[in-house]
A and B are shown apart, each in its own frame.
Chain A
């Protein structure tokens, strides 16, 4: 069986609706009206050991809910969920020892104390032998450059420094599975890159499985070969990330800066002009020919600066929603999934 197995997962919430104003409050007090929110609505996927999978979707799509179900913090409404052979919501200690969930917004480090104190408590809770604890700490220190941070009070650390320590605290017990919910949220670009490199390195060294959600395309581009796209609780795409980009966003964004205004006509020879404000311009160029076009443009227009960006993740999601993904991509996956479900003996 796959390391993470999710079949027809549903998580519905009953939320009570309250009309505004005093009358509304009174009415709600005597007769509450409930509405069902389908946070996750029939999702199935399997993740094998060692995969890094990106979980993409707009706010409220159901990403965090799914992660919480996998981490045993939420009880599913229906469906089958198995991680490492455990049913997460039973929260058996044997399961809790083997994964970690890092939520960019919620911390486990004790606010008033240096991170090392939390580390030592985690060592005791997870029963990590001294030698292993030291080795892990040394490795995390080398990858994340924790050094002086370990003895500073958490409340005196910057957001980025805190995130590094949070990650370290979450990884001391060398989990086999990492659930990362927006691990780079609010961090500056350099720090985002550091965290990304770290996640990739951790995956390489320990063969850990990573399932991460992110708003940043760069996180996903750098780390994930496979992505799951989810919206309104439904899984819209499950498959190869590059293939998806090639299909729905086969272009790159080229940002240009000039020391003298350039006309739109001049720019049009190189690609589709998204904007031109004289000194700065943005072009869309075909992904495959991006380098060649850049060289030509450098030679002819002498820009002061030229940078490439991937299209924003929102564009890709929008394209998926708009049905830009050919049906066969989705159905191929669906067929695989149902074939696997039909032949449990092989798993």
Chain B
């Protein structure tokens, strides 16, 4: 345990130094998430005449502002790292150390989240303060559930992205696949519209898929739209997906390593 704490301590510090080197770029990458802000404006326009499927204008502001925070704090790019390492031969030195390279990536992601929080949280807080009747549930259990679901949302995204990145072991230029995948998931995670805008049957199906658990789920917890039994069930389903994605990532890594060490490191 002490070993892990020390290791993560050192990795996080290195991650933070690197993040500081690239702070300008990271702020520019963050504009990527401005999609949420754009969608907020679109839905504000639509809802100006009256609530849409139970969402008032204030609800849309809160949904997309919290969504913007969640999207930033769950951002992942590990597939890109893996793809790059394999193409540039940078993976071999990492395989020589008595540590799974994934810890390096996890620590770097967390360090980067530190920088994003500093920027995103005050802005979101300010916007929500200035929005009259913004629906937010701020009691301790809700905040706790939100934090847990935020972490699991990140874990699901990270492990899926890691598994996609591992494809680079077999496919050169795997990054083309990532684009297609992320285009598809944008709608299903609730980044374009809250799931409540979808037909009832599709909503029902989606809540069993991993997609809403990457974005909508934590957002709706913060809005107080998911409570009680639904919350407990949701956290359970989310945890199951997080574990499954981790298991798939671990398995793919083992297979990939086998083929990597067979054909040439």
Give A contacts to B, CB under 8 Å: 13-14, 68, 71-75, 89, 91, 93, 96-97, 100-101, 103, 105-108, 110, 112-113, 117-118, 120-127
Contact indicator B95/A91 (Cβ below 8 Å): yes
Q: Which of B107-149 contact A (CB under 8 A)?
A: none
Given A74-B265, A93-B98, A106-B90, check contact A124 B21 (CB 8 Å). Answer: no
Contact indicator B10/A121 (Cβ below 8 Å): yes
Given A113-B17, A113-B18, A117-B13, check contact A125 B7 (CB 8 Å). Answer: yes
Contact indicator B14/A113 (Cβ below 8 Å): yes
Q: Which residues of A contact B236 (CB under 8 A)?
A: none
Q: Which of B167-175, B210-218, B255-263 contacts A (4 or more CB under 8 A)?
A: B255-263
Contact indicator B17/A117 (Cβ below 8 Å): yes
Q: Which residues of A contact B183 (CB under 8 A)?
A: none
Contact residue among A73, A96, A103, A123 (Cβ-Cβ distance under 8 Å from B98): A96
- Could you tell me the distance between the alpha carbons of A125 and B5 in the complex, rounded to whole angstroms? 11
Q: Which residues of A contact B3 (CB under 8 A)?
A: 124, 127
- Could you tell me the distance between the alpha carbons of A303 and B196 in the complex, rounded to whole angstroms? 94
Q: Which of B1-56 contact A (CB under 8 A)?
A: 3, 6-7, 9-11, 13-14, 17-18, 21-22
- In the complex, besides A72-B95, A112-B17, 4 extra interface pairs with C-beta distance below 8 angstroms are A13-B263, A72-B261, A93-B98, A124-B7
- Could you tell me the distance between the alpha carbons of A112 and B264 in the complex, rounded to whole angstroms? 27
- Could you tell me the distance between the alpha carbons of A113 and B13 in the complex, rounded to whole angstroms? 11
Which residue on B lies nearest to A120, using beta carbons? B10
Q: Which residues of A contact B13 (CB under 8 A)?
A: 117, 120
- Could you tell me the distance between the alpha carbons of A13 and B96 in the complex, rounded to whole angstroms? 22
A-B contact pairs, 8 of them (CB 8 A): A72-B261, A105-B89, A107-B93, A108-B94, A113-B21, A123-B10, A124-B3, A126-B97
Which residue on B lies nearest to A126, using beta carbons? B98
A-B contact count (CB 8 A): 80
- Name the distance in Å between B144's Cβ and chain A's nearest Cβ: 30
Contact indicator A106/B98 (Cβ below 8 Å): no
Which residue on B lies nearest to A118, using beta carbons? B14
Q: Which 7 A-B pairs have the closest CB atoms?
A: A124-B10, A73-B265, A93-B98, A108-B93, A96-B98, A75-B261, A112-B21
- Name the distance in Å between A113's Cβ and chain B's nearest Cβ: 5
- Could you tell me the distance between the alpha carbons of A275 and B96 in the complex, rounded to whole angstroms? 48
Contact indicator A101/B14 (Cβ below 8 Å): no
Tell me if B176 counts as interface (CB < 8 A to partner A).
no
Q: Which residues of B contact A122 (CB under 8 A)?
A: 97
Contact indicator B7/A68 (Cβ below 8 Å): no
Q: Which residues of A contact B262 (CB under 8 A)?
A: 74-75
Q: Which residues of B contact A127 (CB under 8 A)?
A: 3, 6
Contact indicator A74/B17 (Cβ below 8 Å): no
Tell me if B205 counts as interface (CB < 8 A to partner A).
no
Q: Which residues of A contact B7 (CB under 8 A)?
A: 124-125
- Could you tell me the distance between the alpha carbons of A117 and B108 in the complex, rounded to whole angstroms? 14
Given A13-B263, A13-B264, A117-B13, check contact A73 B94 (CB 8 Å). Answer: no
Given A73-B96, A89-B261, A126-B98, check contact A110 B11 (CB 8 Å). Answer: no
Tell me if B232 counts as interface (CB < 8 A to partner A).
no
Given A112-B18, A120-B10, check contact A71 B98 (CB 8 Å). Answer: no
Contact residue among B22, B93, B261 (Cβ-Cβ distance under 8 Å from A74): B261
Tell me if B204 counts as interface (CB < 8 A to partner A).
no
Q: Which residues of A contact B264 (CB under 8 A)?
A: 13, 74
Tell me if B92 counts as interface (CB < 8 A to partner A).
yes
- Could you tell me the distance between the alpha carbons of A13 and B263 in the complex, rounded to whole angstroms? 6
Tell me if B99 counts as interface (CB < 8 A to partner A).
yes
Contact indicator B22/A112 (Cβ below 8 Å): yes
- Name the distance in Å between B57's Cβ and chain A's nearest Cβ: 44
Q: Which residues of B contact A123 (CB under 8 A)?
A: 10
Contact residue among B11, B90, B95, B98 (Cβ-Cβ distance under 8 Å from A121): B11
- Name the distance in Å between A174's Cβ and chain B's nearest Cβ: 14
- Name the distance in Å between B202's Cβ and chain A's nearest Cβ: 38
Contact indicator B93/A125 (Cβ below 8 Å): no
Contact indicator B6/A73 (Cβ below 8 Å): no
- Name the distance in Å between A183's Cβ and chain B's nearest Cβ: 14
Contact indicator B11/A124 (Cβ below 8 Å): yes
- Name the distance in Å between B107's Cβ and chain A's nearest Cβ: 9
Residue from A13, A97, A108, A123 with most neighbouring chain B CB atoms (10 Å): A108
Q: Which residues of A contact B6 (CB under 8 A)?
A: 124, 127
Contact indicator A117/B265 (Cβ below 8 Å): no
Residue from B22, B89, B98 with most neighbouring chain A CB atoms (10 Å): B98
- Name the distance in Å between B262's Cβ and chain A's nearest Cβ: 5
- Name the distance in Å between A202's Cβ and chain B's nearest Cβ: 18
Contact indicator A73/B95 (Cβ below 8 Å): yes
Q: Which residues of B contact A106 (CB under 8 A)?
A: 89-90, 92-93
- Could you tell me the distance between the alpha carbons of A101 and B94 in the complex, rounded to whole angstroms? 11
Contact indicator A110/B92 (Cβ below 8 Å): no
Q: Which residues of A contact B11 (CB under 8 A)?
A: 121, 124
- Could you tell me the distance between the alpha carbons of A202 and B158 in the complex, rounded to whole angstroms? 42
Given A75-B262, A89-B261, check contact A124 B9 (CB 8 Å). Answer: yes
- Name the distance in Å between A231's Cβ and chain B's nearest Cβ: 19
Contact indicator A96/B96 (Cβ below 8 Å): yes
- Name the distance in Å between B104's Cβ and chain A's nearest Cβ: 8
- Name the distance in Å between B55's Cβ and chain A's nearest Cβ: 44
